[in-house]
Structure 1
């Protein structure tokens, strides 16, 4: 669509919009009131502490000039009430009040924050009707607005017609493409920018991280720093989030160090809540629980997100006692736990085997905190009971639920059946679970594992056939290890690494030393009816073992090996890693999909409870 077509489309919509077109064409009501009164009331509006106060001030004014209407719209935006700003504009039109150029910047900003394309195009229509659209500042605001809607066609048309482009419009375009997941076009825009400041770099970092391109986002962050551009808070939060997802502790520590140096240049400046919370989350997800606690304790102020990040850390590491204590601290600090807090709390109890405590806190949600448990909370309770072997009680909870159990709830019960080898209940639950059309491969793999452990190969084969018929593909296991700030990824049987020969030589050494310790592979979770030797070979090439072998080669002697895996660690790899931690006298820290395992001296922090 060319610009002329866009103008026609926008203008053509005026007569169809709810913001009265005849008011624009008719005679606006005259403005009354003295300039002094206007300024006094406008000043009070702009200094209002909340919307209710601003509204009272506005309604008290007898003669409401355009200046006052604009001040009220601006105040609504300043006080985070964009919907009220748009409503006031509608009222302004209904009363036939005259608009001017200063009406529109705040109004367009309100539409951007609301992400309401209909109202946004109406405002564009009116600005164009009043002859303000050609203003460069207003057009920049419109580009930002259309980008926030995801209407990149309209945004690009306005952008291409803009003779002079500033940081705002470049960034708006990058953010818009990133929001749509079109990182290639975002990069094309980025490459065209003659001078890139911290805001533009931050847009590229956050855009990639928000789209799950964590390594690429970190690459942009490192390139920004190497070019001497000072990182914004947003860029650092995004980079720390990427480190958390990748388990890149070394790089996360480097960002923390960069942050401290930046803070030291400005004496008296403390770390912001957003950055502090991001650091807590990063350290926790990278396995450095002590560092997460240190950051948390050093924060001068905290918000709900901070408390929940710390609760999530306790959950991930299976620290039930710490999680329970944190709730008490929250209450003493004037914060009330919310539904996210309880998800972390119940998860911590589940991973810590604290059944009675979990049941008690679950009951307290409704009895003490007046909070109705969601499906996710019921799934946590069922997981807590089933994981502890209380399968009948878990089944009773599912049967007594006031809401229809979903796949997450049934999946938690099925997981307990796998842990405790209850083939009968597992079969019944699995069949029920497979009635749900949506969902990943996890439920199929769980049921197949139960059958495989019971050596019911035909049933396991039928589950795999059903997966294929439904087009469900099992998720590939990926394990990563960070060496000198670089994240190395491995898949099962991987031979693509530059050091593949050395890695497999180390794997052979590991296997020999494991045999010397009398290790026999736990082949119960091998999904195919193979002979025992083939099953052992299949298990021996799991991705986490390749990552551990590489860590033994590449890291200094005695240094901890930190592995991140996207799936649950299988029973044999868990047993093997315990032995390897003793054989090589290494602490091996593994984060799987559910929790952390700290292997040291032949034992695991989970106490084989995962």
Structure 2
């Protein structure tokens, strides 16, 4: 060994080839090794490697192992580079071989790990207790190789080493060889918590949860890892109550949860709606200082969001100093799942302002929010982003979501372009297009899509037939709809469900064939739900049948006692036939129950911003201009012969219904001739439907309106529904 003094007066060590390793303490202080310990990029690593060669560090086993560690299991894995380093080492020792075997195991190259082990034996180097855990990990997917390695463990007398013993159990468990795993466990001279946990994990992964529980109950001393294995096992197979009960046992046993416990339990609470346990976890997290762990806070946000407590979820979210992508996605997803689409859009815009790059998960949550709120401009931006960043990936779900978004925002042509431009289509994408055609009243296209889908070898499912029957319903094609319903089981082997019966009963009721609709209900193999009685009630209003309406309403009152819709419908039916005493009686009954009608609201997107209006809404900054336009609209409608009606649904002038307010805002906020798209949360009333047709002609505007049931395309004084909705 020789010491050279560099020009900057720093001491550097230069080790001669084949010299034995210098003292460990001396090597640790070498500047090149210090640089390696902080290295994060492969380019910098190569520069440091050249320094190793310059100063002879590459001739020491310690330095060689550090180089291998970086490129085999470190931050920048490059096994081909690791192999080139390994091949340059004249006499590798245990540490070197073990490092290579570990690298191959982590990278899931079992054959390479086994070859490296064979080379090690060939050169007379016996394995040690650190060799086999890595080698057995590499054999996780190969039972035959695992048995050979097990034989080597026995040959070298290492079967009683705790790490090797646990690795053997894990290997057999991952291979599904649970009998062999149990044999290793039973033959051991010791049974520590790690061994128990390894076998429990094997039973869990193999689907033998009850065997896992029996073994768990037999553990003399259970550590937190054992508890975690069972709790996560129950969670994996959706036995959430068992997971929560076990967590209660863990708390009663005074075993402190760790991060893994908390994450598992919060996930269980989210799925089971167990907000009380979630609240306990939150308090424990705060008391024990885990509230700085971003993973746990994200899990709590997700739990509260899925349990419906979005205010607490938002409070936790806003309290984060640093928000990662998972935080943003959880919050957007929470709002989207709760149908709070306006809030989801708000969070996404905040995310953009904070320069956080969205992911596929972000868009899978955001696209439905755009679809339901009618945010077409934002949806188009997302589409462009997806095309640019995810075009080369297999993202059928993402493309299908975009198709659905365009359909629900009223741009069917854009939906078609994506659909027909997809390299591969799945059943979901066909179903979305069939549903879209039905929503827009184009039964012909829905039928053509169904025919093309089946000709290409796709088997329709229950969802397909809901879409197809909806198309017949919106078009009033009763006989064709009945043929379709009958063909479900006879031709395609799909048993009708309550949704399919609902479509047929809605179709018959709209067509005035109420007696047939009631007979159809009697043929059902399941009890009718609220939607079916609601369809009967709607048909009774269209065809003025208060007697049957009373029967259907009574059914609805029992099925959905807190739903004001049945009271409103029955009240309107009485009003239509002039039975005002009954109107008062029903409204009093609804008031006595504390039921209030869902207020009508309509949204319109202008300049990439979604504006929402209620009936008679005067909260908008441009209210004066909006109502001035409404007065002008009323004047022009009256001049064209339109007579405004008093709405029995709202109890006030239809001139101030939310859809008219939204249309007025669109008229003052966009250039003449611009298409207007509006989205209403309820069914459009007859007066607004007639007025919208006339407005489209008077102002030369096409208006696309989506209500609770379908789309209406108003153009040149006509509607695509042909007044049948």
The TM-score range, normalised by the shorter chain, is 0.7 to 0.9
Distance across 2 between alignment mates of 1:121 and 1:426: 48
Say if 1:357 and 1:159 are closer, same or farther in 2 by CA, change over 3 A.
same
1:164 Cα deviation from its structure 2 partner:
8.1
1:208 Cα deviation from its structure 2 partner:
1.9
Counterpart position of 1:551: 666
Contact 1:85 1:107 (8 Å CA) reproduced: no
Counterpart position of 1:70: 198
- Aligned to 2:141, the other structure's residue is in SS state helix
Contact 2:663 2:676 (8 Å CA) reproduced: yes
Counterpart position of 1:345: 468
**Cα RMSD between the aligned structures?**
3.5
1:142 Cα deviation from its structure 2 partner:
5.1
Deviations 1:340-366 (A, max 9, x none): 332222111100222222111211233
Counterpart position of 1:116: 240
Say if 1:173 and 1:571 are closer, same or farther in 2 by CA, change over 3 A.
same
1:44 aligns to 2:142 (yes or no): yes
1:418 aligns to 2:541 (yes or no): yes
Counterpart position of 1:564: 679
1:154 aligns to 2:280 (yes or no): yes
Say if 1:147 and 1:558 are closer, same or farther in 2 by CA, change over 3 A.
same
Counterpart position of 1:26: none
Q: Which moved more, 1:396-405 or 1:564-573?
A: 396-405
Distance across 2 between alignment mates of 1:125 and 1:46: 40
Of the candidates 306, 312, 316, which is equivalent to residue 435 of structure 2?
Answer: 312
Say if 1:164 and 1:438 are closer, same or farther in 2 by CA, change over 3 A.
closer
Say if 1:230 and 1:516 are closer, same or farther in 2 by CA, change over 3 A.
same
1:352-363 equivalences under 5 Å are: 352-363=475-486
1:206-221 equivalences under 5 Å are: 206-221=333-348
Counterpart position of 2:370: 243
1:272 aligns to 2:395 (yes or no): yes
Deviations 1:310-353 (A, max 9, x none): 33322322222232333334444554333233222211110022
Q: Which moved more, 1:338-347 or 1:236-245?
A: 338-347
Counterpart position of 2:102: none
Counterpart position of 1:597: 712
1:583 aligns to 2:710 (yes or no): no
1:284 Cα deviation from its structure 2 partner:
1.3
Distance across 1 between alignment mates of 2:210 and 2:453: 38
Q: Which moved more, 1:435-444 or 1:197-206?
A: 435-444
Counterpart position of 1:472: 595
Q: Which runs of 5+ in 1 are unaligned?
A: 1-33, 529-534
1:286 Cα deviation from its structure 2 partner:
1.0
Distance across 2 between alignment mates of 1:421 and 1:253: 44
Q: Which moved more, 1:561-570 or 1:348-357?
A: 348-357
Higher relative contact order (CA 8 A, sep 6+): 1
Contact 1:582 1:602 (8 Å CA) reproduced: yes
Say if 1:358 and 1:40 are closer, same or farther in 2 by CA, change over 3 A.
same
Counterpart position of 1:460: 583
Distance across 1 between alignment mates of 2:144 and 2:416: 41
Contact 2:302 2:313 (8 Å CA) reproduced: yes
Contact 2:697 2:717 (8 Å CA) reproduced: yes
Of the candidates 482, 490, 501, which is equivalent to residue 367 of structure 1?
Answer: 490
Distance across 2 between alignment mates of 1:425 and 1:137: 58
Contact 2:204 2:212 (8 Å CA) reproduced: no
Q: Which moved more, 1:401-410 or 1:597-606?
A: 401-410
Counterpart position of 1:262: 389
- Aligned to 1:362, the other structure's residue is in SS state helix
Counterpart position of 2:532: 409
1:147-226 equivalences under 5 Å are: 149-150=274-275, 151-160=277-286, 161-162=288-289, 165-226=292-353
How many residue pairs end up in the alignment? 555
Contact 1:562 1:590 (8 Å CA) reproduced: yes
Contact 2:291 2:297 (8 Å CA) reproduced: no
Contact 2:270 2:307 (8 Å CA) reproduced: no
Contact 1:111 1:119 (8 Å CA) reproduced: yes
Distance across 2 between alignment mates of 1:456 and 1:128: 64
Say if 1:59 and 1:543 are closer, same or farther in 2 by CA, change over 3 A.
same
- Aligned to 1:519, the other structure's residue is in SS state coil
Distance across 2 between alignment mates of 1:87 and 1:220: 43
1:138 Cα deviation from its structure 2 partner:
5.3
Counterpart position of 1:449: 572
- Aligned to 2:604, the other structure's residue is in SS state strand
- Aligned to 1:89, the other structure's residue is in SS state helix
Say if 1:575 and 1:156 are closer, same or farther in 2 by CA, change over 3 A.
same
Counterpart position of 1:526: 648
Q: Which moved more, 1:63-72 or 1:172-181?
A: 63-72
Contact 2:182 2:199 (8 Å CA) reproduced: no
Contact 1:426 1:447 (8 Å CA) reproduced: yes
Contact 1:479 1:547 (8 Å CA) reproduced: yes
Distance across 2 between alignment mates of 1:104 and 1:197: 29
Of the candidates 272, 278, 282, which is equivalent to residue 405 of structure 2?
Answer: 282
1:552 Cα deviation from its structure 2 partner:
0.3
1:495 Cα deviation from its structure 2 partner:
1.7
Say if 1:40 and 1:205 are closer, same or farther in 2 by CA, change over 3 A.
closer
Counterpart position of 1:15: none
- Aligned to 2:500, the other structure's residue is in SS state helix
Distance across 2 between alignment mates of 1:189 and 1:423: 52
Contact 1:144 1:169 (8 Å CA) reproduced: no
Distance across 1 between alignment mates of 2:482 and 2:144: 50
Deviations 1:579-606 (A, max 9, x none): 1001111010111110000101111111
